[in-house]
Structure 1
Amino acid sequence: MNHLLCGLAANDNLPSSLLDRLIAVADAEVADPLADRADLSRAQAVALAARVAESGVPLAYRGRLTAADVDPVARPDVALALLDTGAAPAAWARLLAADPVVEHREKLAACPGLPPDVVETLAADPEIRVVAEAALWAPAQVAARLAAHPHAEVRRMVGANEATPPSVLEALVTGDGLPAARHCLVCDRRTSPFAHDPHGPRPDRDLPPWASCDGAHASTTHDLLYAALRNPTTPAGALVGFVDHPSHLLRRALAARRDLPPSVYELLASDPDPGVRAGLAENPAIGDAPIRALADDDCHNVRRGPAHHPGVPLDVLIAGHHNATAPALLACLDDEARPVAAGHPALPQSVVTDLVAGADLRSAEAPAANPSLPHTVMTELLPPPPVRAGSPGGDAEPAAPGPRRGRDRRTR
């Protein structure tokens, strides 16, 4: 790496003439900060893309290149970037839908605003990766049709697509009304039954460590359910039965939803998996009963959630926490947390003084112990000092022996 050239490329005060010279000698490392310059002209962007091929995609995403600057046949990667930003003609999408490179068709399937005929072409692609990507971004009618696709991976992507109709998502979860899937990525690659040993070597790196298939496509079906549980369009009524599912990952996804009946949240508050309870504690949709249960949880990560919950009851609320703020403490003074809040050093001095001066001596104990209590008030709270000897009205008292004068006889 030429650090000096990289530094110049990022210098906001670099003159345009020197910028041209820098583009002429740029490599991939210098091109990266050059592509990010706000003063890069269109001509300079075209020159940089011609000099360093890798800079074409970031230049397209940053709006430095236009469709007029790019040949989609010579630079399909840059053309895809422009399609992804909506800055390329529809004809390019039709051209790239027939690109022999699978990765290009897969990237095209994720681009927004594709013409309907291109979506249909991608949904019928011979490569499952392309069809699955199309299923993830397809409009409602196409997604509904792909829900019955014979490949489980395509169905999984339909389950994650928020444009999928709710009734179709419910059918994916329950299996009602859909033919059984015949293939998955696992049985495409390995002879069924197959399961990765999670603690052993992975013979197929394209498959996740939990991959398994015994003919029912277990791992892909599990991933489909997880996607549907996380999809806000999936009807809550189809999901409540997962509250006691053996998969903690599915129960964690359920705990994050904001549209479940209160009774489901109450059951999840006692889930044996702390990850489920911690996720539930951060869910703003839960009510008082789960909040109170989670506030007393044995796991610190779970208890932390109710402290930040917008609906936490005041008697459950950071009052003794060292980071508690004055407004939070003031709110706690009218609740059962009053003794703890009254002793917190973040409470304003004037409030502490008023609490000490209150009629209830037991309630005054906490503010009297508050380090924010002014010294003058501390003095006023103490009883008057006893009358010393020799003072008016007092009896004589022997004087304490003073320091010895002269050398101690025991020393030499």
Structure 2
Amino acid sequence: MYTLISKNEEVDMLFLNNLSVYERSNMARDPTTASEVLVVLATDEELEVRYYLALNPATPIEVLIELASDDDDEISGVASSNPALPADMLIALARHKNVVTRATVARNCSTPTKALAMLGCDVDKHVRRGVASNPNTPPTVLDTLARDTEEEVRAGVACNPMIPPSLLARILSLARHDEVRILAAVASNHSLPSDELASLVSDDRPLIRMAAASNLRLPVELMAELASDEDKYVRKALIYNPMLPTQVLLKLASDKDECVRRAVTEILSLPVELLL
């Protein structure tokens, strides 16, 4: 019933109020719901309804702006992640008292550089981490965040796909042996030179080798090496690398571990019985 009503341009407020929370939530998240209905649902008292409305890609921009200022932290955060938000709204949200909202804006690829520069100085490390990993963050801001006292923030810079190679090299050279998150982030970055990547493939910690296995620019010979890694999770991570050659994937299809073989069946869309 809600589907039919959602396509009616004349919204019956009384009828909407008589619907259950479940029905209104379904309307709120349905991209085919009429925009007039979505506008009305923005004032719904139930948090669940407004939450799904914030997730709906068809929600009108004026409703998103309203939801981005919602009193509920989670709703505000979800709405703030929408790339359709206008620049002036994102700049305003960068000053929001709610740290979840600021962190979401910091990760939003549509956030203006002015706001990113401001958020890069935020007192909360999660906000700075969001700026550090945002591909639109200016190099000057990344350079500052690369010297952040928090390992999590520096790891964010290390995984940024737009990081200047010289800065990535500097982060790697300064990283301590126990800063595994930073080293793993560096290993996953496609800007890393092949010789540096090779050294991380040989690292004695599985988490770092797993990150290297996901690197899109991992040379074929290193993929073959990781396909025989002693750790099953490293071998499994390699399977999800879209650049993995067919011959290496077929080798993993006969892996000694069942979870690795099952992962191959998912990639190849084959019945699991064929590889067991």
TM over 0.5: yes
Query: 1:254 Cα shift?
Result: 4.9
* 1:59 match: 79
| SS of aligned partner of 2:19 | helix
TM-score, length of structure 2 as denominator length: 0.67
Query: 1:121 Cα shift?
Result: 1.6
* 1:73 match: 95
Query: 1:126 Cα shift?
Result: 0.5
2:152 to 129, 132, 135: 129
* 2:19 match: 4
| Mapped contact 2:168–2:192 kept (Cα < 8 A) | yes
Cα pair distance change 1:301/1:3, threshold 3 Å: farther
Query: 1:37 Cα shift?
Result: 8.1
| SS of aligned partner of 2:256 | coil
- Give the distance between the partners of 1:48 and 1:281, measured in 2 at CA: 42
| Mapped contact 2:159–2:189 kept (Cα < 8 A) | yes
1:108 to 127, 131, 151: 131
| Mapped contact 2:261–2:275 kept (Cα < 8 A) | no
1:92 to 99, 104, 115: 115
- Give the distance between the partners of 2:34 and 2:250, measured in 1 at CA: 61
* 2:198 match: 170
* 1:248 match: 232
Q: Which has the larger radius of gyration?
A: 1
Deviations 1:33-68 (A, max 9, x none): 4444846462x5444444534333333334564232
Query: 1:260 Cα shift?
Result: 5.7
Cα pair distance change 1:137/1:130, threshold 3 Å: same
| SS of aligned partner of 1:92 | helix
* 2:218 match: 234
| SS of aligned partner of 1:137 | coil
More helix by share: 2
Query: 1:225 Cα shift?
Result: 0.9
Query: 1:156 Cα shift?
Result: 1.2
- Give the distance between the partners of 1:260 and 1:63, measured in 2 at CA: 35
- Give the distance between the partners of 1:147 and 1:108, measured in 2 at CA: 19
Deviations 1:153-207 (A, max 9, x none): 21111112223222221122246xxxxxxxxxxxxxxxxxxxxxxxxxxxxxxxx
Root-mean-square deviation over aligned CA pairs? 3.9
Query: 1:223 Cα shift?
Result: 0.8
| SS of aligned partner of 1:88 | coil
User: Where in structure 2 are the equivalents of 1:268-307 lying within 5 Å?
Assistant: 271-279=255-263, 301=272, 303=274
Gaps of 5+ in 2: 1-16
1:155 to 183, 186, 203: 183
TM-score, length of structure 1 as denominator length: 0.48
| SS of aligned partner of 1:234 | coil
* 1:146 match: 171
* 1:26 match: 45
Number of equivalenced pairs: 242
Deviations 1:216-236 (A, max 9, x none): xx6xx2110122123231222
Report % sequence identity.
22
